[in-house]
Amino acid sequence: MLRNQTSNAAALANKAIQARNLLEKEQSFETLENYATNWQRFSKLHNAPLFVELANAATRKSRELKYDALMPAAANNSKIEILARYAAVKASGLLETMSPRTNMMFRRWGYAQTALRLATKQQGNEMFHKMCDLGLVEYTSEFIVFTYMLDLVSTDTAETLALLLMDAGVHVDI
């Protein structure tokens, strides 16, 4: 009996390693969605909570790939533009939503300029607080502007951003 349980555990561990390898290599969001569904089903059949974690990871990666494909390309190859795009894709994937208005702004001005516009005109809006509640403060426009583009905003805006980020639990050097 004990030998059978040990071999079952080893077989599950081996399948989990294979699943993790598939997850790391796969770049199709449709295939990842299928993996997630199958791994959820497998976890229920075999009482394997590790496969629930793998299914959740596959779902997150699938969403990120989906939004990455839907969102416009970076306006240029600057580091801040690429970082701002990464944050937008990551946040959209984690929030499971993408604002059509924000997407239009990305097309028109690029990601860094859109982050700058949002952080200077709509500081601490509803989406900022929602993202902070979910622990995604590093993907907000306010964080990106305060961390990487502070020299582009007025001192009043910088102070407002600092206060918002401190309220969100971010360590801010003033």
- What would the pLDDT profile of 80-122 be if each residue is shown by its tens digit? 999 999 999 988 888 888 888 888 999 999 999 999 999 998 8
pLDDT per residue as tens digits for the range 16-50? 899 999 999 999 999 999 999 999 999 998 888 88
In the chain, pLDDT over 90 holds for what percent of residues?
Answer: 56
State if pTM tops 0.85.
no
Chain mean pLDDT for the chain:
88
Checking if the pLDDT of 4 tops 60, the result is no
Output the pLDDT for position 6. Answer: 58
Name every residue whose Cβ is closer than 8 Å to that of residue 131 and which is 6 or more positions away in sequence: 91, 95, 137, 139, 140
Rounded distance, CA 86 to CA 96, Å?
Answer: 15
How many Cβ atoms sit within 10 Å of the Cβ of residue 131?
A: 21
